[in-house]
Amino acid sequence: MILLLGTAVGFIVLVAVLTAIGSHRRGTSLPLSMLAGAVFPVTWTVWYVSDDQPYHRTHPHRGDHP
């Protein structure tokens, strides 16, 4: 029982840390990134709604032809 609880808590902490890192890479300040990690379900929802086309290139890369 304790092992299962520890695994669940560890997973939640890992996801929160990864969310904070992702938020910081998106340009958010460190304190706000830590807050984003703490409330990661809300952060993910905001990112999903605000990212209309997350994998859409705005400009062609080298070697790409229009």
Structure tokens at 60: 């062609």
More confident of the two residues 61 and 30: 30
Residue 33, CA distances (Å) to 10, 12, 38, 64 in order:
19, 16, 9, 35
Whether 59 is covered by a domain: the verdict is: no
* Residue 39, domain member (yes or no): yes
User: Which DSSP string corresponds to the chain?
Assistant: -HHHHHHHHHHHHHHHHHHHHHHHHTT--HHHHHHHHHTHHHHHHHHHHH-SSTT--SSPPTT---
Question: How many domains would you assign to the chain?
Answer: 1
Domain assignment of residue 19, yes or no: yes
Q: Are 19 and 35 in contact (CB under 8 A)?
A: no
* 37-55 confidence digits (pLDDT tens): 899 899 888 888 887 665 6
Instruction: Please check whether residue 63 lies inside any domain of the structure.
Output: no
Q: What is the span of the domain harbouring residue 11?
A: 2-50
- Structure pTM? 0.66
